[in-house]
Amino acid sequence: MSTLLKNKKVAIIGAGPGGLTLARLLQLKGVDVKVYERDENRNVRVQGATLDLHTDSGLKALEVADLMDEFKATYRPGNDRYRIVDKNAAVFHDDHKKDSTGDFGDEWFRPEIDRGPLRDMLIDSLNPETVVWDSHIISLENNDNTWKIIFENGQTANADIVIGADGANSKIRPFITPIKPIYSGVTYLVCNIDDAKKNAPKVYDLLKGGKIAALDESKTIFASAKGDGTMDIYIGFKTDINWAKKSGIDFKNGTEVSKWFKKEYADWNTIWLELFDDEKTEFVPRPLYSMPLDQYWEPQPNITLLGDAAHLLPPNGEGVNSAMLDALNFSEILTNGNFTTVESAIAYYEKQMFERFAEEGKETSEMMDWMYAPGGLQVMVDMLNPA
């Protein structure tokens, strides 16, 4: 182990892929690390969408974490195949017509895994009791360069280093910077359709076990098949930040949501109305936010951030990969013996992170511009089929 972390306790706040990857990488180096997660246990919440991991980030982190065999046994071949369609479900691009979407070692191969199995794989790779469940943080106190972490359940913990990996609404971020995220102008309406083959058969058939991106009229619908037979749906549109409140819609009532959809997506094919047929489906409005692309803060001696807590962006295919790359970079910086203080290691890590985020954020902003413009469909088709 690097002398930098000798006899030091590291606390990671948040048991998402980024935080768990960092915990695994640090444990492999013999570091004393705990992960504090607000969920009551690992099974209390349905984990979100499928994730595509990239060669130079997510997959690279798993390789260094010695988890590629487990990943290859768990990922979902073919789930990365995309169909790009218009409002009438006419197909403009179809990955299913390709013989192969690539294989491991190909830089463009982006294998898919459901978030739940990825999380389980990472948790199972850690020493027992590493993840401390039911630990919803409410505050931090800095005492003589040691952090006291205070949880909602009345428990406390002490750590020499704190890493906030607790997502978009990070409780750790305000202890590092007052900078707040900015609304992107786009809101998603999100749902998970149970037994999609039965409850949305036409969309399920169109999906073919992969992914759909429907773009038209400056609106989008994204669909993704999951290994448990469910289907994740993201309905995207430009609107006011307070749209959900102003709309008066009961988002637990599919009939009300369907009524709104029929009005706002009036010219879209009736195939999409299937998304509202199962009355058990609950919808969640999710405004998309971004951190300012020029964000900066002075590095602190023993606290930092990774993933969405550090550099939130609208969904761009990079989120989980960026978080896992943060974990890989920071674990190497902390343990490679090149730094004499934790503060200098954090400063170097954050400098790289800011630079990467500015570049990634610019690309994401441009993507949001064309995706929610009238010609978005053609732009996406041209990108996937270069001349």
Convert the pLDDT of each residue in 45-98 to its tens digit: 655 677 888 888 888 999 999 999 898 888 777 667 789 999 999 998 887 777
Rounded distance between C-alpha atoms, residue 290 and residue 310, angstroms: 10
CB 328 within 8 A of CB 25: yes
d(CA 24, CA 130): 10
Q: Write a three-state SS string for 190-211.
A: EEEECCHHHHCHHHHHHHCCCE
User: What is the per-residue pLDDT across 314-347, written as a single tens digit (0 to 9) for each?
Assistant: 987 677 899 999 999 999 999 999 999 999 999 9
pTM of the predicted protein model: 0.92
Contacts 24+ apart (CB under 8 A), 311-316: 311/353, 311/357, 311/360, 311/361, 312/168, 312/181, 313/357, 313/360, 313/361, 313/364, 314/184, 314/186, 314/288, 314/289, 314/290, 314/364, 314/368, 315/188, 315/234, 315/288, 316/360, 316/363, 316/364, 316/367
pLDDT along the chain (387 residues), means of 10: 85 96 97 94 71 85 93 77 91 78 67 86 95 94 93 95 94 95 95 92 91 93 88 95 93 92 95 91 94 94 96 83 95 94 96 94 91 89 79
Query: Can you read off the two tokens belonging to residue 385?
Result: 């089929």
Say if residue 267 is exposed, middle or buried (CB neighbours under 10 Å; 0-12, 13-18, 19+): exposed
